[in-house]
Structure 1
Amino acid sequence: MNGKRKVVILSIVVAMLLTLGGVGLYYWYNNAYFVSTEDAQVTGDYVKITPQISGKLVEFNVKEGDTVVKDQIIGRIEAIGTADSSVDTSLLRAPVNGTIIKNQARVGEFSNAGSTLAVMIDPSQLYISANIEETKLGKIKPGEQVDIGIDQFKGRTFKGNVEFIGQASNSAFSLLPSSSGAFTKVVQTVPISIGFENTDLNFLPGTNAVVKIHVK
C-alpha cells in the first residue's frame, strides 16, 4: 500500500514539475521572441473641416458616414459683404479624400472662422497606435512583423509591421507635470505606429486592439 502511495505522490510531483516547466517555458519563449501589449487602438489622422470666414452656415451637404473627395464642395457660409473675388472663401471644401466620422455643423447657426464643423478620416490610411513599456522598447525595430487582434473582429488575427517608434514617452506630452515632493518611479510608455498589411475590412477608429510584435 505504501509503495502505491509513493508512486501516486511521485506522479503528482512529476506532473506539477512538468506543468510549471511548461508554463515557465511558455513565458520565456514569449518574452524572448515577442513584445505584446493590450494598450493599443485603431486610429488614423483626423482632419477637421473648418470655415475660412465667419458667418451663418447656409448649406452643409454631408452627414456622418458619407465619403467625399479632396476639394469637393460640401457647404457654404453666408458671405455678406465679401468681395466677388473672395467668394470662394465662403465655400466649404473637403480637405482630403475620406469619410465624415463626426458632424457638428448646424445649418442656420453662426460659425466662426477656424471652428470645427466636422471631422473626417481616410479609412485607407488607418493604423494601430500602441503604447510600449520603455523597458521593452529596445527590442523593437521598424519593419518588424506584428500580429494584430481587434476587438471588433473577435477571433481573427491581422498582420502588420512596425512603421514608427515615438521619440518621447507619453508622459513627456503631459500638460500638467507632477509637482509632488514624493518621487515614485513609474515605468513609462512610448507610442509606436503599426501599419496594416493588405486588408479591405472596415476598421473603426478608436476600437481596441492587442498587438504581438515579433522581435527575433
Structure 2
Amino acid sequence: MNGKRKILIIGILIAIVAALGSIVFYYWYENTYYVSTEDARVSGDLVSVTPQISGKLLELNVAEGDTVAKNEILARQDMNGFPDTNVEQALMRSPIDGVVVKKQGTIGEFLGAGSSVISLVDPNKFYVTANIEETKLEKIKIGQSVDITIDQYESKKFTGKVKSIGEVANSALSILPSSTSGTFTKVVQRIPIKIEFDDFEGKILPGTNAIVKIHVK
C-alpha cells in the first residue's frame, strides 16, 4: 500500500512540475517571440467638410452612414449677397471617397466659414493604433507582422504590419501637468504605434477595441 501511495505522490508531483514547466515555457515563448497588448483600437483619419463662406444652410444631402464620392456635392449654403459667379463657394463638396461618420449641420442653421459640418472617413484606409510599453519598444521594428483580433469580430483574425512607431509618449501630449510633489510614482509610459491591415473584409468601425500580437522574432 505504501508503495502504491508513494508512486501516486510521485506521479502527482511529476504532473505538477510538468504543468508549471509548461506555464513557464508558454510565458517565456510569448515574451520572447511576441509583444502583445489589449490597449489598441481601430482608427481612421477623419476628414472635415467645411463651408468656404458664412451663410444659412439651404441643403444637406447626406446622412450618417452614407457613402460619398470625391467632389460630390454634400451641402449648399445661401449665397448671402455673393454674385452668381461665386456659386461654387456656396457648395460643400466631398474631398475624398468615403463614408459619412458625423453630420453636425441642420438646414436653416447659420454656419460660419471653416466650421465643421460633415466628418468623413475612408473605410479602405483604416489602421490600428496600439500603445506599447516603453520597456518593450526596443523589440518593435517597422515591417514586423502583426496578428489582430477586433472585439467587433471576436472569431475572425486579421493580419497587418507595423507601419510607424511614435516619436513621443502619450503622457507627453496630455493636457494635465506633471506632478511636482514629493509623492511622485514612476509609471511605465506607453508609445503609440500604427499598424496597417494587410487586407480585411466586412465593415469595421473606427474606435472599436482590438488586441494585437506583434511577431518580434
Quick check: TM above 0.5? yes
The aligned counterpart of 1:190 is 191
Q: Which amino acid in 2 is paired with 1:88?
A: E
CA distance in 2, matches of 1:29, 1:60: 56
Q: Percent identity?
A: 54
Q: Secondary structure at the match of 2:38?
A: strand
Q: Which amino acid in 2 is paired with 1:142?
A: I
The aligned counterpart of 2:32 is 32
The aligned counterpart of 1:141 is 141
Give 5+ residue unaligned stretches, structure 2: none
The aligned counterpart of 2:202 is 201
Q: Secondary structure at the match of 2:184?
A: coil
The aligned counterpart of 2:213 is 212
Q: Which amino acid in 1 is paired with 2:206?
A: P
Q: Quote how far apart the aligned CAs of 1:84 are.
A: 3.2
CA distance in 1, matches of 2:70, 2:186: 47
Q: Secondary structure at the match of 1:155?
A: strand
CA distance in 2, matches of 1:72, 1:207: 28
Q: Quote how far apart the aligned CAs of 1:11 are.
A: 1.0
Q: Deviations over 1:66-102 (max 9, x none)?
A: 1111221111111212133332111111121100011
Q: Secondary structure at the match of 1:120?
A: strand
Provide the alpha-carbon RMSD of the alignment.
1.1
Q: Quote how far apart the aligned CAs of 1:179 are.
A: 3.5
Give 5+ residue unaligned stretches, structure 1: none
CA distance in 1, matches of 2:195, 2:29: 23
Q: How many residue pairs end up in the alignment?
A: 216
Q: Secondary structure at the match of 2:135?
A: coil
CA distance in 2, matches of 1:188, 1:117: 36
CA distance in 2, matches of 1:132, 1:64: 33
